[in-house]
Amino acid sequence: MAQLNYPTTRTVDQKDNYHGTSVADPYRWLEDDRSAETGEWVKQQNQVTFSYLEKIPYRETIKKRLEKIYNYAKYSAPSRKGEWYYFYKNDGLQNQAVLYRQKGLNGTPEVVIDPNTLSKDATTRLAQFALSKDGKYAAYALSKGGSDWQDIFVMDMSTKKNLSDKVEWVKVSGIAWQGDGFYYSRYPKPAGSELAAKNENHQVFFHKIGTSQAADLLVFEDKANPQRFHTVNTTEDEKFALLYVSDRGKGKDGNALFYKEAGAKAFKPVVAEVSDFSYGVIENVGKALLIQTNKNAKNEKIESFDTATNTWKSIIAEKEEPLQSSSVAGGKLFLTYMKDVTTRAYVYDVKGKLENEITLPGLGTASGFGGNADDKAVFYTFTSFNYPSTIFSYDIATKQSTVFRAPEVDFRATDFETKQVFYPSKDGTKIPMFIVYKKGLKLDGQNPTLLYGYGGFNVSLNPAFSPLLIPFLEQGGVYAQANLRGGSEYGEKWHEQGMKLKKQNVFDDFIAAGEYLIAEKYCDNAHLAIRGGSNGGLLVGAVMNQRPELARVAIPQVGVMDMLRFQKFTIGWNWIADYGSADNAEEFKVLYAYSPLHNIKEGVDYPATLITTADHDDRVVPAHSFKYAAMLQAKAGKSSSNPLLIRIDTNSGHGASNTAKNIEQTADIYAFIWWNMNAKLSL
């Protein structure tokens, strides 16, 4: 294709002083998401991008194949409340999953909430659904257009009709019932842009059924620490309300924990001060709280706190493998551990005695295991790269699992294989990586290869089935998922090795993954694409600057690209615990050295780049991607032989706001990758 003519982006003479270093920010005006000029810039960029994508001849064919393979019924595991079982189902290509209920496991399903009917473009999402203890009422939260803001409504479950209740400006919140109402967390109505304004003064309220939000009781706030999160949940028997306080804006990676017994007015401390240790209540056993914590246990452990005596007791000690999840159901404690990024599941009694391991179908990811105190069985979901998400029922008495519901997907699992490798990073650390491909793959260096990574926030990239990946593999593509430091794959130690002053380890791990794939002849530089979203978008942007020749294509999605100003928007200050802050001189030096926006070089031939973001992303505001795209085009637009484009979705957020948008975006990404690799396809 001919050289692209990018829109000319106006510059301003904006400079900021960071600890004696003057830093220019010529595209500061793009931070104003409400200005007409920004809106016009978005329109012009999309015109260039979509006119490019529309010229790719097989773009529509890719989309149709994605639609076909995605078009199968997808269910969530059911949860029980009294005689009713609740579950989500997407018939196939519905934009949003529908919430159903049925009496007993063999009853006739009936619709509870169908989010597809709540907006013309089906971008309104059912974000939360919580039933009262007796099941008579449900509080549910809706978000619009992909935003993180939520509104809470109340439904009478006997009629499935809404009451008059409506709660607004909810964010970073659960819905925790206690008696005739529920706890929730919210911010004051933002001044200025609701999608970009900094969120401060997180408050906890109690809403009583049938009253207005103005009458809600303020339960907790901390005006002295406006950049803290305060959230409440309750135990199954509703005897305890549990208050969690975190202070990641000041670099603390853990939380404080308080409790309040039903009827009491004040919260009492379990852990009074926020530190780098986390505490999560699993459930109560009488007056004692079962707590998962990483205090003096980087792989986490289970302890008990007796509220009657204020004493701690060890229940299950730390193991070599990191503790992934914990839940209580049917009088048993269910724990999952992660061994080399795959799940192991165990059953204990509530005093901490091991009873048995749950046999899983293979190496993959198992999740769920939650339930009620009187349940006889629990449900869990198992998945791997070539094992579609399947729901199992585990009988507590017989200790046996049976398939409860398996999907019917238009592919043959035996056509594909997965291998796990351990490759050395720059400092010699062995990094795990999964590689997925069609059987019979030739290692000739010519296979279109998509390398995906994240590496941050204690998040693990586990094996999981995605129907949208199959069309890429069907065309001879290779998918590689690298488990970089900064995640939780090997516990808190792994996380710490990829955060703050050690963030460069994450980029080194990703670069080494690409070099391994090339050395082993899965691909060469001309057939490698790198992709990541959010913190992974930052990853791709940083690696592009450090090693622009490594990959042919780069897909930085909804990335944190301005590492000097991320904390100034919405809840960006929450990321200081992982990244550090430019307000700190030592951390500024590290951030400035890798910030994607600030390290773009003139005259460099960057990879073919498709940046993706969305107008309703109020987590990583689109200004990050706007400024990054403007700088990339200005500095490399004329010297690069490759397209440097930004795709800006509308009425969508940090993730695609509905199925249609998800499929459209995936089709565009695959088309862009294959087109720029001159891939030989059988479409």
Structure tokens at 533: 């979203």
Q: Which residues neighbour 68 within 8 Å (Cβ) at sequence distance 6 or greater?
A: 410
To which residue do tokens 């998800």 refer? 662
pLDDT digits (tens, 9 = 90+) for 554-596: 999 999 999 999 999 999 999 999 999 999 999 999 999 999 9
């459209």: which residue's tokens?
664
Residue 428 · residue 416 · CB < 8 Å: no
Q: Which position has the token pair 């997907």?
A: 409
**Predicted local distance difference test score (pLDDT) of residue 33:** 87
Three-class SS of 415-448: HEEEEEEEEECCCCCEEEEEEEEECCCCCCCECC
Task: Spell out, as residue ranges, where the chain has pLDDT lower than 50.
Answer: 1
- pLDDT of 241 reads 98
List Cβ neighbours of 2 (8 Å cut-off, separation of 6 or more): none
Say how far apart CA 543 and CA 562 lie, in whole Å: 15
What are the φ and ψ backbone dihedral angles of 139, each rounded to 5 degrees? -105, 130
Please name every residue paired with 334 in a beta bridge, in sequence order, or none if there are none: 327, 347
Long-range contacts of 181-189 (CB under 8 A, 24+ apart): 181/206, 181/207, 181/208, 181/209, 182/130, 182/132, 182/139, 182/206, 182/207, 183/207, 183/219, 183/232, 183/233, 183/234, 183/241, 184/152, 184/232, 185/229, 185/230, 185/231, 185/232
CB atoms within 10 A of CB 59: 19
At 415 the pLDDT is: 97
Question: Residue 113: its pLDDT value, please?
Answer: 98
> Do the beta carbons of residue 559 and residue 541 sit within 8 Å?
yes
- Between the two ends of the chain, the Cα-to-Cα distance in Å is 21
Closest C-alpha to 543, from 478, 606, 491: 606
Task: Judge whether 18 and 582 are in contact, CB under 8 Å.
Answer: yes
Extended strands (E) in 160-300: 161-170, 176-178, 181-186, 203-208, 217-220, 229-234, 240-246, 255-261, 268-271, 279-285, 288-293
Task: Check residue 523 and report its DSSP letter.
Answer: B
Q: How far apart are CA 171 and CA 63, in angstroms?
A: 34
Active-site residue (options: 389, 534, 595, 625): 534
Alpha-carbon gap, residue 172 to 150, rounded angstroms: 9
Instruction: State the Cα–Cα distance between residues 518 and 600, nearest whole angstrom.
Output: 25
Beta bridge partners of 394: 378, 401
pLDDT at 2: 53
- Distance from C-alpha of 488 to C-alpha of 66, rounded to nearest angstrom: 31
The DSSP call for residue 201 is -
Q: What is the pLDDT of residue 1?
A: 46
Q: What is the CA radius of gyration of the chain?
A: 25
Place of tokens 């993954």: 513
Phi, psi of 443 (to 5 degrees): -85, 75
The b/e string for 127-151 (b: 16+ C-beta within 10 A; e otherwise) is: bbbbbbeebebbbbbbbbbbbbbbb
CA 365 to the chain's CA centroid: 16
| Buried-state track 175-200, b at ≥16 Cβ within 10 A, e below 16 | bbbbeebbbbbbbeebeebbbbbbbb
Per-residue HEC secondary structure of 624-654 comes to HHHHHHHHHHHHHCCCCCCCEEEEEECCCCC
230 is catalytic: no
Q: How far apart are CA 372 and CA 83, in angstroms?
A: 12
Percent of the chain topping pLDDT 70? 100
Q: How far apart are CA 646 and CA 656, in angstroms?
A: 16
Q: Within its chain, how far is the Cα of 25 from the centroid? A: 29
Specify the length of the chain in residues. Answer: 683
**What gap in Å lies between CA 61 and CA 668, rounded to an integer?**
11
Q: Exposed (0-12), middle (13-18) or buried (19+): which is 610, by Cβ within 10 Å?
A: buried
Which residues 6+ apart lie within 8 Å of 8 measured at CB?
none
Residue listed under structure tokens 């991607």? 625
Within 425-510, strands assigned E span 430-438, 449-452, 478-482
Contact 55, 652 (CB under 8 A): no
Q: What is the pLDDT of residues 659-671, one digit of tens each?
A: 999 999 999 999 9
- Give the model's pLDDT for residue 653: 85
Per the residue annotation, which of 202, 527, 624, 654 is the catalytic one?
654
Helix 504-519 with 585-594: angle, nearest 10 deg: 30
Pair 391, 379: CB distance under 8 Å: yes
Does the CA dihedral 632-638-642-648 come out positive or negative? positive
